[in-house]
Amino acid sequence: MKTQIGQHLIQPADRMNILPTQFFAKLVAKANAQTAKGRDVINLGQGNPDQPTPPHIVAKLQEAAANPLYHKYPPFSGYPFLKEAVAKRYKEDYNVDLDPATEVAILFGGKTGLVEISQCLLNPGDVCLVPDPGYPDYWSGVALAGAEMSFMPLTESNSYLPDYEAISPEIAQRAKLMFMNYPNNPTGAVANPAFYVHTVEYARKHGIVVASDFAYGAIGFDGNQPISFLQTPGAKEVGVEFYTMSKTYNMAGWRVGFALGNAEIVRLINLIQDHYYCSLFGGIQEAAALALTESQQCVADLNAMYESRRNALYSALDKIGWKAAKPGGSFFCWLPVAPGHTSESFADLLLQEADVVVAPGVGFGTHGEGFVRLGLLTTEDRLQEAVERIGKLNLFKA
């Protein structure tokens, strides 16, 4: 009886019932089931960097952890030295000027800010423009805000850039926020300066805040450095950029990110975080500042490693007849499924018959159907072995 009463007392808030399904939890469960059978699974389906954090960053954390100052509560919005460090990095890499005091917010990882900005700006009935395919956690913040999503198709024919002219006037009028992400997850596409200029013009015309997800900003190939949205004239008037230490410095588990740009949006993010958190452990902040301000050779080396892995993978793909354009950035590859398959059935086939995990494109949105995402997050030998296993299924014409 007590159990029944207890069950009746626990009634989730309505917002818990409108959260999007975590599609990739199912993917992980399938992969783990194969591994539990003793299978040698090559997991290319997730986006978790496989390299350790550079030793000089780890050493700084070890040293800073002994500082009694950091054993107390940190300032609510974080230490000024970390804000100054990311502003310095943006000036050196992108020639973007940021005021550390008013145009930088420290985040518990980029994902946190991507959820928080919807809660800061959207009311029930407001519309958020979301890329399709795109990073599913954009959906989470919109759902928590009780707002609506209008999807912007990203197609190969348009270089995986949204077509603003295809957005209806009614949707443009209601939209208050727009997410974009270049280098892109999942497609690996990159944006050019003209696109960003058009984005600023469109946002200004319709009163839409731009949230630029620059998580893969350090990873660009073929001699091309990805450009920041904030390099565009007028960008800070209409939006912010989310930057993370996770990919650039292999610090995914450290949970350090930033919201950069528009001072009012930064203020709102700091305000909502005042109610959620008391900032990051000071030792982590000091180590992150070191990463941002000392030699960036580790970043250049990491980028070169991903490019070498990309080239090795595509050389192997060519041998089995699996044709696709190489990504211009990020550590993801966007590949068409074999004829006669959906993205889920193809991913299931590769897992069951080749012990290779890939992410079904439909998990990133309806326009992801027909594709799978592969991550460059294992050694070249393992990437080539994965392709060789797939090649033995004779799904493509070499």
Pair (222, 277) in one structural domain = yes
- Both 305 and 253 in one domain: the answer is no
Provide the pLDDT for residue 100. Answer: 98
Q: Which runs of E-coded beta strand occur in 255-396?
A: 257-261, 332-336, 356-357, 359-360, 371-375
Residue 396 lies in a domain: no
Q: Is residue 125 part of a domain?
A: yes
Residue from 44, 322, 374 nearest 185 by CA? 374
Helix (H) or strand (E) holding 148: strand 148-153
Identify whether 277 is part of a domain. Answer: yes
Residue 171 lies in a domain: yes
Specify the pLDDT at position 30. 86
Which residues in 232-302 belong to E strands, given as ranges?
239-244, 257-261
Number of structural domains (the chain) is 2
Asked if omega into 183 is within 30° of 0 (cis), the reply is yes
Q: Where are the beta strands (DSSP E) in 3-101?
A: 42-43
Q: How far apart are CA 258 and CA 387, in angstroms?
A: 37
Residues 289 and 370 in one domain: no
Residues 112 and 9 in one domain: no
Q: Which domain holds residue 201?
A: 71-293
381 confidence band (pLDDT: 50, 70, 90)? very high
Sheet with strand 359-360: strands edge to edge: 332-336, 371-375, 359-360
Tell which of 229, 258, 293 closes a domain.
293
Give the pLDDT confidence score for residue 1 in this predicted structure.
Answer: 40
Asked if residue 272 is part of any domain, the answer here is yes
What is the torsional sign of CA 205, 265, 186, 226? positive
Same-domain pairing of 275 and 313:
no
Whether residue 327 has pLDDT greater than 90: yes
Residue 315 pLDDT > 90: yes
Identify the three-state secondary structure at position 24.
Answer: helix
CATH number of the domain within which 306 lies: 3.90.1150.10
Residues 83 and 133 in one domain: yes
Q: Give yes or no for a contact between 43 and 357, defined as CB atoms under 8 angstroms apart.
A: yes
User: Do 282 and 319 reside in the same domain of the chain?
Assistant: no
On whether both 44 and 150 belong to a single domain, the answer is no
The pTM (predicted TM-score) of the whole model is 0.94
What are the structure tokens assigned to 148, written together?
């609506």
Residues 176 and 248 in one domain: yes
81 and 156 part of one domain: yes
Q: Does residue 398 surpass a pLDDT of 70?
A: no
DSSP β-bridge partners for residue 131: 152
Q: Are residues 302 and 281 in the same domain?
A: no
370 vs 338: CA distance, rounded Å? 9
Task: Specify the CATH number for the domain of residue 212.
Answer: 3.40.640.10
Which of 293, 315, 347 finishes a domain?
293
Residue 60 lies in a domain: no
Q: How confident is the model at residue 19 (pLDDT cuts 50, 70, 90)?
A: confident
Query: Of the residues 293, 327, 344, which one is the last residue of a structural domain?
Result: 293
In-domain check, residue 65? no
pLDDT tens per residue, range 37-87: 989 999 999 888 999 999 999 999 999 999 999 999 999 999 999 999 999
> Considering only 36-40, 203-207, 288-292, which range has the smallest mean pLDDT?
36-40
Judgement on whether residues 199 and 254 belong to the same structural domain of the protein: yes
pLDDT, tens only, 136-169: 999 999 999 999 999 999 999 999 999 999 999 9
In this predicted structure, what is the pLDDT of residue 28? 84
Whether residue 175 has pLDDT greater than 60: yes
Asked if the model's pLDDT at residue 4 lies above 90, the reply is: no
